[in-house]
Amino acid sequence: MHALALIVFVSYFASLFFTVRVFVYHRAALALWEPDRGVLTRQYTRMARRVWSFIAWPSLIGMGVCGVVTLYLRPDLLSRSWTQALLGLAALLVVYHVANQRLLGRLERHESVWSTFRMRLWGQGATLLLAGFAAILTMRELAWYYGVLGLVVLGAVLVVVLRAGGKKDEADASSGKPGA
């Protein structure tokens, strides 16, 4: 059971990182001229839809099944604070997943989407969720406030790094270079 849970967990986060990165590329392609814009946005939409449908959703469902089976076999885990924290993080993951599903739909319908910087910032949500899962699973007895503090610090570092990347994109855009 543990091996299967690990496989679906890794598959899910790989698909999540890939799909959100494709969203960033899709958004950047909207700044290009036709016919490049149409070709790239169609290709990015097709790539994201395939990964989302054939890897992300099945992996998320697989993680849910593995979690339910684990709790069925070990109901004593529910009384532990780290398990409760994991369940809370899993709920946030489902919300993030559904939000990405809606974002994919907006991109498919060619509706207005966020800026490239905001899309990159959104993509770091997956990084924060993965860091949260890793922290809880490796440091089970750590006080919850240390975990929250760690995620806040990691989030702040990611914002600083992304802002630096955003300035580079602006410089590339003003010089005519395509940014991604």
Q: Which residues of the chain have pLDDT under 70?
A: 141-144, 147, 151, 162, 165-180
Domains of the chain: total: 1
In a domain, 80, yes or no: yes
DSSP string covering 97-108, please?
A: HHHHHHHHHHHH
First to last CA, the chain: 39
| pLDDT tens track for 34-67 | 999 999 999 999 999 999 999 999 999 999 999 9
Rounded Cα gap, residues 30 and 115, in angstroms: 10
Peptide bond into 35 cis (omega under 30): yes
In a domain, 180, yes or no: no
In a domain, 161, yes or no: yes
| pLDDT tens track for 112-131 | 788 888 888 888 889 888 98
Structural domain for 8, as ranges: 2-175
